[in-house]
Amino acid sequence: MDRLSQIIGGCKSNDRKCQEELYYQYYPALFALCKKFFADEHEIQTSLNNGMMKVFKNINQYDKSKGEFFNWVYTIVRNTCLTILRSRKPDTTVELKDNMMDLLHYDPFKTSDWEEIYIHLDKLPPSTRAVCSLFYLENFSIKEICTEMNLKEGTVKWHLNESRNRLKEVFTKSKES
């Protein structure tokens, strides 16, 4: 039996040491995931901790035959972030109805390192940041974002346009420096 299987077994038995070990084993990756959605350190920690509590509460539902354990945990924590975002009052009600697919070509994330990406994501409003992260970093489609965040397609496109406009300006300035 490998160590991960032992840890999962311990977590199923509510062993606090195994829960702590699992938490810290995945902490860096899950912290980076939550940082895609939130700029504030407290919100990052809250979403990560809430997600891990759901993992520990539902660990008996994990089915090894359906996929890797890390992917299961990652999905739970990502969905926790989305739940927190959905529970907030939207920071904008702007909706664009025109076909904006031609605006989807600019992707500043392809030419930047992660540290730089997080610095620039911190400058976006929370909902715009979440839509941008889901689209560019999590590879969600516009329709999937609409479903996950309970937004209209035009609103999602507006957030993508807004993030591109803001990031394009920031990335252009940083390239000139």
Residue 117 has pLDDT above 90, yes or no: no
Judged on CB neighbours under 10 Å (0-12, 13-18, 19+), 14 is exposed
CA distance 83 to 9: 28
In percent, how much of the chain has pLDDT > 90?
Answer: 50
Give 123's contacts (C-beta < 8 A, 6+ positions apart).
166, 170
- How confident is the model at residue 87, as a pLDDT? 81
Q: Which of 158, 121, 160 is nearest to 34 (CA)?
A: 121
Task: Kindly report the CATH number assigned to the domain that includes residue 39.
Answer: 1.10.1740.10
State whether 155 and 112 are in the same domain: yes
The pLDDT of residue 111 is 53
What is the pLDDT at residue 109?
A: 57
Percent of the chain's residues with pLDDT above 70: 79
H/E element, 27: helix 16-35
Which pLDDT score is estimated for 148? 87
Confidence at residue 107, expressed as pLDDT on a 0 to 100 scale? 53
pLDDT > 80? residue 125:
yes
Output the domain CATH number for residue 132.
1.10.10
pLDDT in tens, 157-171: 999 988 888 877 666
Q: What is the DSSP string of 132-157?
A: HIIIIIS---HHHHHHHHT--HHHHH
Looking at 65, 87, 109, the residue that finishes a domain is 87
14 with 78, same domain: the answer is yes
Q: Is the pLDDT of residue 98 over 60?
A: no
Q: How many residues does the chain have?
A: 177
pLDDT of 96 > 80? The answer is: no
Residues 105, 35: Cα–Cα separation, whole Å: 24
- Residue 49 burial class via C-beta count within 10 angstroms: exposed 0-12, middle 13-18, buried 19 and up: middle
Distance CA 109, CA 120 (A): 10
Average of per-residue pLDDT across 65-84: 94
- Of the residues 87, 114, 136, which one is the last residue of a structural domain? 87
Q: What is the mean pLDDT of the chain?
A: 83
Residue 85's region, left for phi above 0, alpha for psi from -120 to 50, else beta, is alpha
**What are 53-66's pLDDT values in tens digits?**
999 999 999 998 99
Domains in the chain: how many in total?
A: 2
Do 114 and 72 belong to one domain? Answer: no
CA–CA distance, 85 with 46 (Å, rounded to integer): 12
Residue span of the structural domain in which 7 resides: 3-87
Q: Are residues 19 and 42 in the same domain?
A: yes
Q: pLDDT band for position 123 (50/70/90)?
A: confident
